[in-house]
Structure 1
Amino acid sequence: MKKRKIFFVTGARSEYDIMHPVLEQLQDSGEIDLQLVVTGAHLSETFGKTVRNIERDGFKIADRIYNLLSTEDKVGRIAGLGSQVTALAHTFNREKPDIIVVVGDREEAISVSLTAAYLSIPVAHLAGGDIANDGNIDNSVRYAATKFAHIHFTFLEQHAQVLKMLGEDEYRIFNTGNPALDKFIHCPRMEKKAVQPLIEFNIQDEPYIVLIQHPIITEVENAGDQIKETLEAVIASGLKCFVNYPNSDAGNFAIIENINAYATKYPDVFHLFKNLDRVNYINLLRYASCLIGNSSSGILEAPSIGLPVVNIGSRQRDRYSAGNVIYTGYDREEITAAIKKSVFDEKYRAEVKAIRNPYGNGDSASRISDVLKTIALDDKLIYKNITYKVF
């Protein structure tokens, strides 16, 4: 019997981390012809060329699509998306996968779901129905991808209800939780002394924080000033800080320029990394006192290890939070106060430690892989209608 051919498309480390436990489940089952299409920041040295991680993990790569343009202009992202659509169309038409899987709200979500829908190939979309009131283009991408996708894996029951209100058939929707938490929860715990040599920075005798701050497309012109406020707040806190590179959105040049400048000027405070593998990253967070910036990791994953988060600026606003997040503006004094509360307020830290993560409990990947292996690939799945009626 011919194996079901399932493609995953990934363009960045963040969504590869989400899909990775599902990939492992499908690979280990031996029942699926599993292949990846790798694109975007994965293929860029600027962002750590994380395709090497995928190769090391042993997954078969069906195609590499180079679409990331080295530019600060907003037009660069949409131009790259356009070239991505064309390349994906040729790849999908040649390889003819039975299902294509994509995550979230990056450009791959819309390019993949649009292209596959026109080719009548079922698309499975993870993380639909999520809501953030931050004015970012990612919100529009997420909802547009939902309307093109044929199978939905949501991270919260609230998200599943949103998809139903958008007119999606109930039989398409599976509330599975976030598979990234499978790896997060079950990741082998390293001793603190084992983490230190990997990151080449002394973390044995003092608290430290982790910073991940991405640009926002509607605030590109302010990205440099925004990250400066954050970096000055870190200095004022008196804490050491591990800084991850931002994503590839417009505005990242200014962030990268500033974090490099501060790391050069304050080498005893800041340590930069373009990419840490998942095990090292998780253990770095386990021993951290706080995560700051605007990464979705603070919303989706940090609650599983009782980690306080300071979310800076508008990104991630109004996403459902477990209660471990303090929201601030871009003012350094406000950020500093939030960092100090998160690190030194023992009562607050105890409250965060007691939080249960609503986004999953470590079994999401098996639930998703079971659906992908067994769902009927028929006209009912491909033909989409709007379930609500207004007349």
Structure 2
Amino acid sequence: MVKPILLVMGTRPEGIKLAPVYHALKEANLPVVLCSTFQHDQLLRQVLAIFDIKPDIALDVMKPNQDLFYLTPIILSRLKPVLEETKPSLVMVQGDTTTGMVASLAAFYSRIPVAHIEAGIRTFDLDGPFPEEANRQIISVLSTFNFAATKDNVRNLLHDGVSRSKIFYTGNTVTDALRIIKEKIETNKIEINKKLKEKISSFKNKKIILFTMHRRESFGAPMKTVFQSIKKYALDHKDIEIIFPVHPNPHVKKLVTEESLELIGNINLFEPLLYQDLIYLLLNADIVVTDSGGIQEEAASLGKFAIIVRERTDRPESVIAGLAEVVGYDKLALYLALDNYLYGRVRRNSSADIFGDGFASQKIINVLRQYGDFSRTSTLLRQTQDRSV
């Protein structure tokens, strides 16, 4: 009996970026078992429903007010019997989540090769993003297959001492997901939030700003500062409309209430949007303000300029391409960046393939088909790395 590939996910971003890979594995007739930790519960279930995916195994670890000290050991302990029962040939993870890091560690403990999708993203600062930067560095150390989204990611992996034989440049699977959903929107094969469509239709001759903010390192004073700048910009500019899908994290919701954003007429608060609604909004937005790496990638792929409210970005490619600007948590810098783009002479670029061409999943499948026996490959690649030291 052929051993399956175990695909492990736990959050909404993982669901978005692994859904095309899951379907590609199925179409290639490669045996796959999908295990979801449900580190994020409802948000991930919504994504899986959009892509018509049902997990084979659900660990259901999410609980109110969960933290890293809870998530790390419970995911590790619940994955052990999964690995013992499924006996996978390969464990595949994505990104930099706690789920991805712990699944990689569990596979390592079980002497099972690891494949890391979206490998090589770096800030080289363990404090930002926290804990994601540490997670992805740990995963790279443990991985046999590092599927890098960009050439910059390849360079980062080489800088970290990862053997070139373990690095594969494929593009980012987020562009695959984007291609699939964009096609469904344009052909009316997927339903869009009625309230969102009506709102956008009502914004005649107004500029639309998509605003999102949710990162852990932004909590407290940084997020408060950005909210205040967004609020002032909305009050000063009646010809703009800000759409803000509010993340369910209590820290975010508390600050939204404290800053009374719901009382500003041209700040439109929404519950977290389904993925197709987010892409519909991106397609209709004039500019994006975000601390989300995924949205930064999606915006660039659609040719939308993004203002990054972080101290640094781990996706410098869109900044270099002129499709993004990093302003940190500075009130004036954010205000001026919005003015410069919406009313100034900032160059507007068309969409770019800097994060991939929409077929990264197929490239990943091609690599897996080439190597076949993952256990033997893991040993050979490890020996190659040993000889190169």
TM tier, smaller: 0.7 to 0.9
The whole-number CA distance in structure 1 between the counterparts of 2:81 and 2:222 is: 36
1:359 aligned to 2:319?
no
- Are the structure 2 counterparts of residues 94 and 122 from structure 1 closer, same or farther at C-alpha, using a change threshold of 3 Å? same
Q: Deviations over 1:130-188 (max 9, x none)?
A: 22256223112111100111111001123223323433333322100011112324522
The whole-number CA distance in structure 1 between the counterparts of 2:374 and 2:215 is: 41
Task: Tell me if the contact between 2:120 and 2:154 (Cα under 8 Å) persists in the aligned partners.
Answer: yes
Over aligned residues, Cα RMSD in angstroms? 2.9
Q: Deviations over 1:241-292 (max 9, x none)?
A: 2223448xxxx42212233564532365222132313x33212101101110
- Are the structure 2 counterparts of residues 224 and 303 from structure 1 closer, same or farther at C-alpha, using a change threshold of 3 Å? closer
1:173 corresponds in structure 2 to: 167
1:213 corresponds in structure 2 to: 213
Q: How far apart are 1:370 and its partner, in Å?
A: 2.4
2:250 corresponds in structure 1 to: 253
Q: What does 1:47-62 correspond to in 2, within 5 Å?
A: 48-55=42-49, 57-62=51-56
Q: How far apart are 1:82 and its partner, in Å?
A: 1.6
Q: How far apart are 1:201 and its partner, in Å?
A: 4.5
The whole-number CA distance in structure 2 between the counterparts of 1:59 and 1:298 is: 22
- Are the structure 2 counterparts of residues 275 and 71 from structure 1 closer, same or farther at C-alpha, using a change threshold of 3 Å? same
Q: Secondary structure at the match of 1:113?
A: helix
The whole-number CA distance in structure 1 between the counterparts of 2:364 and 2:300 is: 22
Task: Tell me if the contact between 2:306 and 2:325 (Cα under 8 Å) persists in the aligned partners.
Answer: yes
- The letter of the residue matching 2:167 is I
Q: Secondary structure at the match of 1:32?
A: coil
1:116 corresponds in structure 2 to: 107
- The letter of the residue matching 2:71 is G
- Are the structure 2 counterparts of residues 242 and 103 from structure 1 closer, same or farther at C-alpha, using a change threshold of 3 Å? same
2:228 corresponds in structure 1 to: 229
- Are the structure 2 counterparts of residues 49 and 282 from structure 1 closer, same or farther at C-alpha, using a change threshold of 3 Å? closer
The whole-number CA distance in structure 2 between the counterparts of 1:355 and 1:166 is: 31
1:149 corresponds in structure 2 to: 143
- The letter of the residue matching 2:298 is E
The whole-number CA distance in structure 1 between the counterparts of 2:25 and 2:195 is: 30
The whole-number CA distance in structure 1 between the counterparts of 2:26 and 2:257 is: 39
The runs of at least 4 aligned residues of structure 1 exceeding 6 Å deviation read 388-391
- Are the structure 2 counterparts of residues 26 and 230 from structure 1 closer, same or farther at C-alpha, using a change threshold of 3 Å? farther
The whole-number CA distance in structure 1 between the counterparts of 2:83 and 2:195 is: 39
1:182 aligned to 2:181?
no
Q: How far apart are 1:386 and its partner, in Å?
A: 8.1
1:161 corresponds in structure 2 to: 155
- Are the structure 2 counterparts of residues 9 and 50 from structure 1 closer, same or farther at C-alpha, using a change threshold of 3 Å? same
- The letter of the residue matching 2:175 is L
1:288 aligned to 2:282?
no
Q: Deviations over 1:74-127 (max 9, x none)?
A: xx2232112111111221222222222111111122101110011122211012
- Are the structure 2 counterparts of residues 56 and 155 from structure 1 closer, same or farther at C-alpha, using a change threshold of 3 Å? closer
The correspondence for 2:385, drawn from 384, 387, 390, is: 387
Q: What does 1:1-391 correspond to in 2, within 5 Å?
A: 2-29=1-28, 31-43=29-41, 48-55=42-49, 57-71=51-65, 76-132=67-123, 135-136=128-129, 137-185=131-179, 187-188=182-183, 189-190=185-186, 197=194, 199=196, 201-204=198-201, 205=204, 206-217=206-217, 220-222=219-221, 224-236=223-235, 237-238=237-238, 239-246=240-247, 252-259=249-256, 262=260, 264-266=262-264, 268-277=266-275, 279-316=276-313, 319-321=316-318, 322-345=321-344, 347-348=345-346, 351-354=347-350, 356-383=352-379, 384=382, 387=385
- Are the structure 2 counterparts of residues 305 and 49 from structure 1 closer, same or farther at C-alpha, using a change threshold of 3 Å? closer
Same amino acid, percent of matched pairs: 18
- Are the structure 2 counterparts of residues 367 and 191 from structure 1 closer, same or farther at C-alpha, using a change threshold of 3 Å? closer
The whole-number CA distance in structure 1 between the counterparts of 2:168 and 2:141 is: 15
Task: Tell me if the contact between 2:92 and 2:114 (Cα under 8 Å) persists in the aligned partners.
Answer: yes
- The letter of the residue matching 2:37 is T
Q: Secondary structure at the match of 2:40?
A: helix
- The letter of the residue matching 1:241 is I
- The letter of the residue matching 1:276 is L
Task: Tell me if the contact between 2:210 and 2:285 (Cα under 8 Å) persists in the aligned partners.
Answer: yes
Task: Tell me if the contact between 2:38 and 2:44 (Cα under 8 Å) persists in the aligned partners.
Answer: no
Q: Secondary structure at the match of 1:310?
A: strand
Q: How far apart are 1:28 and its partner, in Å?
A: 2.9
- The letter of the residue matching 1:272 is F
- Are the structure 2 counterparts of residues 371 and 99 from structure 1 closer, same or farther at C-alpha, using a change threshold of 3 Å? same
Q: Secondary structure at the match of 2:348?
A: helix
Q: How far apart are 1:4 and its partner, in Å?
A: 4.8
Q: How far apart are 1:373 and its partner, in Å?
A: 4.1
Q: Deviations over 1:182-201 (max 9, x none)?
A: 23245224499x85725264
Give aligned pairs, total.
Answer: 372
What TM-score do you get using the length of structure 2 for normalisation?
Answer: 0.84
